[in-house]
Amino acid sequence: MTYLIYVIIIMSFIGFISMGYDKRKARKEQWRIPEKTLWTFAVLGGATGMWLGMNFFRHKTKHLSFKYGLPILTILWIAALIYMS
């Protein structure tokens, strides 16, 4: 359980940074992080950090899949942690 919490914290940090990095690259019209990679981070525990990053950096806020998918994944991760405790 403790190990899983550490994984979620690390993945959330990576997700948050990834959203900021992708936003920066988007503004410069450079190569960006593929959405598939961003979703992989989210599914592997980074949904909370990505959700926070999405709102902090105002990035991908118009994409309905991110707008609704990240909060749903966050709720699922919280439910999984509660179930496992």
Looking from the CA of 29 toward its CB, the CA atoms found within 13 Å total 0
Does pTM top 0.85 for this prediction?
yes
CA-to-CA separations, 38 to 3, 14, 23, 33, in angstroms, rounded: 22, 10, 12, 7
Spatial contact of 46 and 12, defined as CB atoms under 8 Å apart = yes
Our count of domains for the chain comes to 1
pLDDT of residue 1: 73
Reported as a single tens digit per residue, the pLDDT across 30-67 is: 999 999 999 999 999 999 999 999 999 999 999 999 99
Side chain identity at residue 53, one-letter code: G
Range of the domain at 39: 2-84
pLDDT of residue 82: 93
What is the rounded CA–CA span in Å between residue 30 and residue 32? Answer: 6
